[in-house]
Structures are given as C-alpha cells and as structure tokens.
Amino acid sequence: MTSPRNESQLTPASNTRRDILKWAALASAPVSFSLSMAQSPLRHNPFTLGVASGSPNHHSVVLWTRLMPDAASGNSQFAASDVSVKWEVADDEGFKVNRRTGQVVALSALAHSVHLELDQLQSDRWYHYRFQIGDAQSTVGRTRTLPHPEAMVQKLRVAYASCQRWEHGYFSAYDHMCQENLDMVLFLGDYIYEYAGAANAVRLPSGGWVNSLSDYRDRYALHRSEKSLQAMHAQCPWLITWDDHEVSNDYAGLVRGQSGNIGFDFVAQRARAYQAFYEHMPLRVSALTKSIEGLASGAELRIYGQVSFGKLANIYLLDDRQYRDRQVCNRNDAYGSGWLDTAQCEEWLDPKRTLLGAEQSQWLDQSFAKAKSDARTWNVIAQQTIFGRRDYKLGAGYSLWNDGWDGYSAARQSMTQSMQNHALQNPVLVGGDVHENWVGHVMADAYKDESAKIGVEFCGAGITARSAGNSKLAARLAENPHFVFADSERKGYGVVEFTAKQIQTELRVVDDVRQQQTKIETLAKFSVEAGVPQVNRLA
C-alpha cells in the first residue's frame, strides 16, 4: 500500500498516446491554468447531471461529470468554449482530511464532459470528490480504488444491472441499490433506449427517435437527469459495458439493426452513438483508440478489459456488440434478430462466426490462461446477455433466439472450451439483455444436458424494460434443465457477495416500476461454494 500524497503529488494517469489523441487526453488531465470563462459568474448550476466514477484499478479511477446549459433557457454561458473545472478529492465528505485539488478541462467538442483520470492513489481506499466552476458546485461523489492484485481480501460486494428503458417506468430500483453497501456496480448494457416511445408508456422520452449526435446526447442527459440514477452513480465506481440500444436495436458490428431510427449511413450513426457513450460514461481516454475522428471510419471504442480485486476475484468486462458477425437465418434475410430453427440453418454451425471478434477472443483466452497462475478464487465474466442455451421448442429440435450466445454456437463453445483448457477457477457469468431473471449452470456442452457443469450464471431482469410474464416459464425451465430458476415479471437488480469460501446472490425486485416510490424485496437467494459449480437456492 502506498503512502499518503499531498495535492502536488496527485497526478493524472499517463496519456502517452498518439498525437491524434492529444486533444481528447487534454480532457482527462488536471491542468495548472484557468480558462477565462470559468472565472465569470455563472447564471445557473451546470452540474445538473450529477457526478460518476468508474474504470477503477488499485491505483487509479476516472471521475466524470458533464456541464449542462441552463434548463430554463436552453442557453449555455460557455456554449462554444472549453472550460476549466476545479476538482477536489479528499478522504472525508467534508473535504478536510488529505484534501487535494486541481483543474481539468471540459472540452466543448466532447459536450463539456469531464473524464478526470487520477493516478497514484492509495490502493483499497474510499475517496470523496466534487467539481466546481465559480460559485457553482456539484454534488459530492464517493469512489474507491481496488485492492492491490496480490492483497488478501475478505469480501467483494457488487450489484449487476441493465436495461433501463425510460418509457417503461422509473429507475426507483437505484434508490434501494444505494442502501446495499456496494464496492462497485456492473452495468451490463442498454443504458439508454433509442426509441421514440412505447405502447402504454409510463412516460415518454423527449426528442423522438434518436439519430443525430445531439439526439444521443439529449437521451443520455434525460436518463442522467433521474435523481435515483444520479445517487447510485455517486455511491461507488461503475464498470460499464453496452448492448444494442445505445446505438440501435439488434445491430451487429458495422451492420444495421431494425430500429426506426436507422439512417442510410449506419457507420456514421454508430460513430455518433459511440461518441455520446464515451461522453457520458466514466471511461479512460485510452478507450478512444483512434480518437473521435476514427469512429467515423469504423474504429473501435475499446471498452472490454479486466481488473482484479486482490486475490479474491478477477472481473472480465466483455463487449459482444462491436465485433460480432451478423445474425443468421432471419426470414427474408431481414436485419436484426429473429428465431432460428437449427435444423434449417447451416450457417449457425459455421466455426468462423464470432460474437466477440478475433482480437477480444484471443485476449480472453490469454487472460484465462494467466488466471491459472494468478490463482484468484473467483473469475467473474460480466457481459451483455444470457449465456446458457434457452430452447423455446418443446421436445425434439431447437428454436433459438439468434441475437445472443444461442445464435453463435461455435463462439460459445470456444469460450467454454477455453475455460476448460485453462482450468478456469470458479467461473461466474453475469448478464442482462433479456429483461428476465435466469439462474443456472454453465455446461461444458450447451447441447448436452448430461455434460459437466463448469461454472454458474446469473442473468438479470433489468431496471425497467418489460418482459413477457411467467405463463410459459415452467415448460421452458423443463426444456432447459441447466437453469434452476427464472422469473419474467419482476424488475430490479442482483447483488453478489464474494468471499473466499462462497458467493451469495440475491435477486432484488421492486413492487412496481410504474411508481416513483416503491418497496424492494428479495425474490430469490442463492449460494455457490468455491470449487463446486453448483447453484444452491437458499430462499
């Protein structure tokens, strides 16, 4: 553990990037000067979207905010100007213990978002932070660094969440998540939805279908305006990945999906969506592999990666949207997703088809190989969707939804084979996407129910996005016996507590997402003993 540092020793993370990234790196580095606009009196508080932190490791974390125009007039005093923002970090909420301060630039080209990368922090420590311009001050956020990778750790407590559709309800689940005493949140995709509305909507998003860069920015700002979501972002760091609705429903790589917002130039639309995602998430500037300009030509925004929580756990964050092949066997070769009959779809078994892409798949295999020598107790694979087979055809044959792992059979088998080849210790997969809670086992062969159990899986219900109901769940569970529990009605999140001996997972659900004030309860509770890939229901 490193010793305490004063403010002159607190430095930004290294920004030794290519020249093309210098302007974006400027937005992540503390600076020693003030821009003139930051010294002018402000007519409004620009911190209406709150604060957030993320991308943590044992010595660094990213602090985020975005400066917003005056909600009443729609005008911004700093509309076209880069702005110097003061930041403060301290050990206590009153900013009296080990207080450090500096300035960071909010670039107009990045919607005045701030991605402050602070390095040389103490490992396994909680910090408080805030931002200020003139007499305007943000709310206070709380964040932490992770334990040193070699540290012996007693406990890790995380929540996993996904699928927060504005039209379908309020994000009140986060009010309760704030009370869970978490180390971090794993957000697994569909932070926004690009739709113009919904049938029987609880509330309607502003702006209609999302298409332009300003549309995406406005939709993120709308979601970020929800106070319960702001409060949870201010509680602890988030590890964040995406799914499809951050761009367009069921898109695949550089191939369009099937939303009503699709323009002729999908690559350009994806670039706009990716830029807005970066602007609104606590990501490192290194995610911009070829800067913002590169996105327009299909360059990646690299969000997959891995962190360690001492010797207790590895956490792998995956991206199954950006690099995937197009879905196969849609009727009339339609874009997006659909049902496939495996007996009528030869392409389904093509060993070359990928969900993660060649580079990410190779990285994951190498990470699994390294995990054996690291000897951490748990290996947590956080990704977008449900991993295990879900066959919707009763009896012989298979009817599968082709947008998730079921539509990419060879890719799933490659991943499970990698787990076995490297004897990956205690794999725990968490996912989202399907708007339902599913709990079960990761099988050595997804299509052989008698094959070995090699891990466990928890797929979350989503914060608000609707699902079909439980009328057919009993039959579907019987058809897919590797799952031990499912629910297609209640909304909420999961909480997983890791110790050296076991994990315990609680499925936390709210009464009614259509109400701003709701109660919370535990729908079901499970345990998994270290070394035994078996889900045990406790409640």
Q: Give the count of beta carbons closer than 10 Å to the beta carbon of residue 203.
A: 12
Kindly state the average pLDDT of the residues 185-201. Answer: 97
> How distant, in Å, are the alpha carbons of 188, 247, 318, 361, 424 from that of 364?
18, 25, 9, 5, 12
Phi, psi of 271 (to 5 degrees): -60, -45
In this prediction the pTM is 0.94
Kindly state the average pLDDT of the residues 461-487. Answer: 97
Domains of the chain: 1-145 (2.60.40.380), 146-537 (3.60.21.70)
* Residue at 516: amino acid letter: Q
Q: Where are the alpha helices (DSSP H) in 5-152?
A: 22-26, 36-39
Q: Please provide the average confidence, as pLDDT, over all residues in the chain.
A: 92
Q: In the predicted model, is pLDDT for residue 461 greater than 90?
A: yes
What counts of helices (H) and strands (E) characterise the chain? 10, 26
Centroid of chain to Cα 55:
11
Give residue 9's pLDDT band: very low, low, confident or very high (50, 70, 90). Answer: very low
Give residue 262's pLDDT band: very low, low, confident or very high (50, 70, 90). Answer: confident
Kindly state the average pLDDT of the residues 187-196. Answer: 98
Residue with tokens 């402000």: 42
For residue 292, give the H/E element and its range.
helix 291-295
pLDDT at 77: 67
pLDDT at 28: 62
* Residue at 421: amino acid letter: N
